[in-house]
Each structure stands twice: as C-alpha cells, then as structure tokens.
Chain A
Amino acid sequence: MRTSDSVKHLFARLVSSLGRATATREFKWMKQALIPSHSLTLPAMLQRRLSGEPLQYILGTTPFGPLDLLTRPPTLIPRPETEDWTLRLADMLSPTPHRPLTVLDLCTGTGCIPLLLCHLWPPGSTRAYGLDISKDAIRLAMDNAARCNIPSSQPSSLTPYSQNVFIPVLGDLRDPDVFKYLLPPFDIITANPPYIPKREYDELPISVKDYEDPAALLGDPPDSEEQDGLTYYRLISQLLRQKGMLRDGSIVALEVGRAQADAVEGILQQSAGLRNTQVWKDPWNVKRVVLART
C-alpha cells in the first residue's frame, strides 16, 4: 500500500515535470524495464528521474537504430542525431566479404557508431576499431560488442573473415604510438568528438552536468588557447594528414555541434588537405556532419 502510494505521488511529480504524455510513456518504459529479482524498484527509478538523471542511465540501455545498447555513467549517451547519420552512412556504402572495409571510430564512447555499422553490413565485410581515452568507455564498448554478438578481439590473420569485428582500444588520439595497435590505412574514419564550447557547457544545469563525462562533452581542454569547441577537429585533421592513414576513396565523417559545420569543413580542407567535403543536416534541419572524401 505504502509503495503504491509513493509511486502515485512520484508519478504525479513526474507529470508536472515532463507533461502527462511524456511522463506516462517514461513510466511505462520503467515498468517494462523492471526485473522482479532486481534491486531496482519503481519508486527508486522515479526518484532518480525526478532528480534529473537521464532515463537512459536509469534503465541502463538506449535504442540505437535496431540495436539496444548498454548505457552507464559517465559514458556519453548515444544521441538520436548520431543514430540518424550513422544509419545514413551505413546506407551509403555496401561492403562485401570480397571488398571489406576497415573502420576507425575516434572517441567511440559506447561504441555505438562502429557497432551499428558492423550490425548493418554483411558478415565478414567490416573490421572496426574504436579508440577512446576513457577506461569506462572502453569497458562499456566491449560489453556492448558482446551484447550485439560482435566479436571484439583481433581475428587470426590466417582465417578469412566470416564475421564483422569491432575492437575497442584504450588510447589517446594524440599519442602516435597508438597506431601500432591499429592497422592503417582506414577506409572510413568516423568520430563524434567532444564539441561543446566552455561557455555553452557552463550554462548547462549542474544537475545534468553531474551525469555525463565532461571529457566527452567539452570541446577544448581548459588550458587551450582556443575555446571554440573545435580542438578535437584540429587534432583529428593532424591525424588524417599523416601518410598511410587513409586510402584513395576513403571517407571521413565527423559529427559537429551547433554552427560548427562551416568551421570544421574549413579545418578539414586546409589542415587535412581534404578538398572534397560536404555537410549533412540532421532530421531537425541542423548542420550535423561534415563528410570528406579523399
């Protein structure tokens, strides 16, 4: 009786926070996520939601295309914008076991981008690497690979590809040694790097900033001269410029923040020497991805 009263009360508060329609749906999803023996209870979930925690962390998963990925704080929760352009990228190319592609995803986080590509492309057509500086992220990416039934270890080079492979790698993209473990050249390089400028980040409410890793959000290190959120695009461009990183006909796809597309296009053209660029808009009509081809 007590529990149901408190659920009722908490739900009423959620309604006044989110509006009835959204609150009702979220409540339904919470109930669906309940596992009887699990320690997670409905009042606890509602409490956490009311204190501002993202639903994806409370439920522990998020849909990403046809995949259902694990989410754990503080690793960045995959966004629908990223889902949209990854699906579009997957649609654009059609690798086969005879013409396989090697993918490198920088700042891979949950591993959502390479995992979706591995899931959508035919078995044996894709070998993907995901680089991240965070141990939490790499652990989560490994768990997600297992959840998606995608092997996350280097297959023996003697056996031909029969499955797609996603290998999460802990490392700093500024560290030149990291490419001893990865095997360039790459056919596709993707990234959803941190891109929020400091001044925008500061305006975000503390209750929300508490949950996701600032390192996955802040576009520039605190000591950086530039505070435009573009530091990682400059770093990635230096990488791309290195000999042997890209093949002829390779594709680079970088997600960008609000009003950053033109600047990132400029960086790729000037600093990486990639002249053939285009910009994709997201479903909300915001310039969201800069695409470059060698």
Chain B
Amino acid sequence: MFRLLYRCHSPLKPYRRFFSSTRTYLAEAHPTSSNVIHEIEQDGARILQAVRKRIKVRDELLANMSEDMSSPEDIARARQIKELEPLHEAWSSWTHARQSLEETLPLMQDPDPTMRTLASEEFSSLAHTLSTHISATFPSLLVPPSSTRDLHALLELKAGVGGSEAALFLLDLLRVYVRYAGSVGWRTSIIQSSETESGGMRDAILEIKGEGAYDALRWESGVHRVQRVPATESSGRTHTSTVAVIVLPLSEEAESIGGNDELFKMEDVKVEVMRARGAGGQVGFLFSCRVIDFDHRHQHVNKTESAVRLTHTPTGITVSMQDERSQHQNKRRAFQVLRARLMDVKLSRDIANRRATRRNLVRTADRSEKIRTYNYAQDRVTDHRIGLSLMNLTSFLEGDGVQDFLDALRRNWQEEIMEDVVGESE
C-alpha cells in the first residue's frame, strides 16, 4: 500500500526500521537467507535486550542459591526464579529455534531438490516462530496486562492555529478516526461539534465504543500539524495549521448521571442548566420571545435551550454540552465527558507516581507537543516521537494508514515498558 517505509532521523528517539508484526519471512523472497536471523534480531533488538537481562538475573539467582536452599533469602530467590520460569521457557524455545534455523541454512543449497524443498519449508516455519517470539510471546510475558484494556475512548479535537483551514483539517482527521473505528468494529458517534461556515469544525468530541479503543488510540493525543495549500487559497501558498487531539478514557459506567464514585463526589460538581431567559414553566417558555425583542432581534420565535454546564470545583474542569435537544441527554453526555477527563487526570497521576519510583523514565508526550506532521507537498506523514514516516497521504486519510502508526506507537510503548521492567529489577 505504501510506496516506501523509511526511517527519518529524529532528535528525540532513534527508531529502527519498522516491520509490521504480520510480516512473514519467506525463503524464496530472500536471496540471502542467512540475513534473516540478523534481520529479526535487529528488528527485536530492544525486546531481546530486555529478555536477556531477565535471563541473566535468573542465572545469577540460580548461582546464588545455597546448597540446602533453606535460608529466607533462598526462599525469596526461589520465588523470583519461579516467576521467571515462563520467560525462561520462551527463551529456551527461541534459542532452540534460532539454532535449528542456522542448521537449516546449508540444507537449502543441497543438490537434492526434495531436501531443498523440505529445508525451505522448515526455514519458513522457523522464521515465523522467531518473529512470533518478538511480536507476541516475549511482550506478553514482559508487558503487564494493561489496566485500561477494557476502556472505550472519547476523542476531543480542537482546531488550533490556521483558522478555517484548521477547521477543515479537523474534519479530515475526524473522518480518519471514524473510519478506523468502523474497520475495527467499534461504534462511533459525534457527541459534540461546532461547525464553521466554511464547512469545517472548530471542535468536536467523538465517542468510540469498543473494548480497547482507549489503549489503541491513546497515543494520538497531541498536536497534529498539516502543511498544505488550502482549497480556498488562490495564490497556491502552503499554509501550516494545527489540530489538537486529546484521547480520554471512557468506562461503561461513565454514562450514569451523578452518583458518588472514586472519581468525584456529587457535591463537588456544580450543575448549571441554560434556558431561554424568563420565568420558566408554562409562562417562561413563551416569554422567551420577549427576550429576543430586548436583544433588538425581530420575530417572535421562542427559543429552545437545552445546554448543560458542569463545573468540578476541586479541579476547575468545566464541561458544556448543548448538541442534544434533551437537557437530560446533554446532562448525561456532560457527566460522561467529565468522568473521562477526571479518569484521564487520575491515570496521568498514577503514571507520574510510578515513574517517580523508577530510574528508567518512560517519556510520554506532552499534549501541547507537536506529534505528527501531514505534509501534502511531499505526500508524507511523519510521527515525530518515533521518527516514523509513511509516504502516500491518501492512504492515511482515506485508507487504513493510521493502523501502521498505531501499531508502531503501541510497539514503541511496549518496548519502553519492557526496558522499564528490566530497569526496576536492577
């Protein structure tokens, strides 16, 4: 699909060539089959390093066990060794497969064609085993299950610099996420949007219902920058505009109105409901048109106002919702967004607390940081955090290009965690 996958040098973090986890290593496709081991190992360098460190720790623990294995230290060591057993087994199977692969290589040049065929089949199977270790087996043993794996997501998009061009780009990005969610089988709905006269959107909130939506999309948070000639620009000058994306965690319970839970106390939330100014009830509904007269507007049109605003006093977070006709619905939506924002605050705090106890820091992107550039003139999308560029913008905006970024970012995150786990045990 992409014309080229290549690495660009990022000042932030070097990133080796990226392979999708589904890549298969076919002997026929590789004139130099012996390079395959090297390629797989280079591909999984960070993971292998993390595994080797753990195996070394296990070896040391074994070496330090005393003869009778009865001291309290021994018991602690025995427990650690036991915990490392599954990883040790995986490592043994990796080493074994690697060994077998090396032994298979000479047979692929065998004069007997039957032998060559057998060797070639063996080669494919072993190469697959090795790449599966890198893409799945080792990460599953080293990356603890995500505590947010069940969560749905709310995507908040806000047009930044660039005026109406930013609003148009916001719509482009929104479509990318809606289409991506649809392809995964997640349900989406735009729960808030403000359209501009030029046909774009100043801001939007997209609800994505599907388990794992938050974990998959969380790395989309940050500033997305577009460089292109706006459709409205007659002189053909390239403009730079930005859209800020924030991905918030959404739980199933977030839909209930009110209630005290771990995220907030009801007494800390100020609920304000808008209504056409007037006395309310049977009278006020009709009186509203008089307000319009006061505003020097003509026409006796009574207003419909269903907006709801929540203010969470301890954090100062405010949420306004007005897109639904029903105040009840707007309130439900507002509480949903409030919960998502508060959960986001909580998760960020948890990460910060954990990080403070570590030597190996996991760098997470600041939301005001520019994370990605969409350059139309060069037909290229670049993620600045991992230095990954993909050619063919159209496949990103209208195809499934976003998947490659999500995969790469998830993998980068997993590798950081694996390195981190090793750091902890040192």
What A residues does B302 contact at CB under 8 A?
Answer: 52, 54, 208
Interface string of A17-43 (1 = CB under 8 A from B): 111011011101100000000000000
Q: Are B301 and A52 in contact (CB under 8 A)?
A: yes
B221 interface residue, CB < 8 Å from A? no
**Of B275, B292, B323, the contact of A25 (CB 8 Å cutoff):** B323
Interface segment, one of B46-54, B89-97, B283-291, B404-412: B283-291
Interface residues of A in 46-81 (CB under 8 A from B): 49-50, 52, 54-56, 62-66, 68, 76-77, 79-81
Q: Are A284 and B273 in contact (CB under 8 A)?
A: yes
What A residues does B297 contact at CB under 8 A?
Answer: 16-19
Interface segment, one of B7-15, B69-77, B303-311, B342-350: B303-311
Q: Are A286 and B328 in contact (CB under 8 A)?
A: no
Q: Are A257 and B283 in contact (CB under 8 A)?
A: yes
What B residues does A188 contact at CB under 8 A?
Answer: none
Q: Are A79 and B289 in contact (CB under 8 A)?
A: no
Q: Are A288 and B281 in contact (CB under 8 A)?
A: yes
Size of interface on A: residues with Cβ below 8 Å to B: 54
**Of B281, B300, B304, the contact of A205 (CB 8 Å cutoff):** B300
Interface residues of B in 255-313 (CB under 8 A from A): 271, 273, 275, 279-287, 289-290, 292, 295, 297-306
Most buried by B among A14, A16, A208, A209: A208
B17 interface residue, CB < 8 Å from A? no
Interface segment, one of A97-105, A193-201, A239-247: A193-201
What B residues does A29 contact at CB under 8 A?
Answer: 325
Most buried by B among A22, A50, A216: A22
Q: Are A22 and B303 in contact (CB under 8 A)?
A: yes
Q: How far is the CA of A195 from the CA of B297 in the complex (A)?
A: 29
A157 interface residue, CB < 8 Å from B? no
Kindly report which residue of chain A lies nearest to residue B275, judged by CB atoms.
Answer: A284
Q: Are B275 and A80 in contact (CB under 8 A)?
A: yes
Kindly report which residue of chain B lies nearest to residue A192, judged by CB atoms.
Answer: B282
List 17 interface pairs A-B (beta carbons < 8 Å), by A numbering.
A17-B292, A17-B299, A17-B301, A18-B297, A28-B323, A52-B289, A56-B304, A79-B282, A79-B285, A192-B282, A204-B287, A205-B300, A208-B300, A258-B283, A283-B271, A284-B273, A286-B281
Question: 16 more A-B contacts (CB under 8 A) besides A205-B289, A257-B279, A282-B280?
Answer: A18-B292, A22-B305, A49-B301, A55-B304, A63-B306, A63-B324, A63-B328, A64-B326, A81-B280, A81-B281, A207-B300, A208-B300, A255-B281, A257-B281, A257-B282, A258-B281
Interface residues in chain B, defined as those with a beta carbon under 8 Å from any beta carbon in chain A: 194-195, 271, 273, 275, 279-287, 289-290, 292, 295, 297-306, 322-329
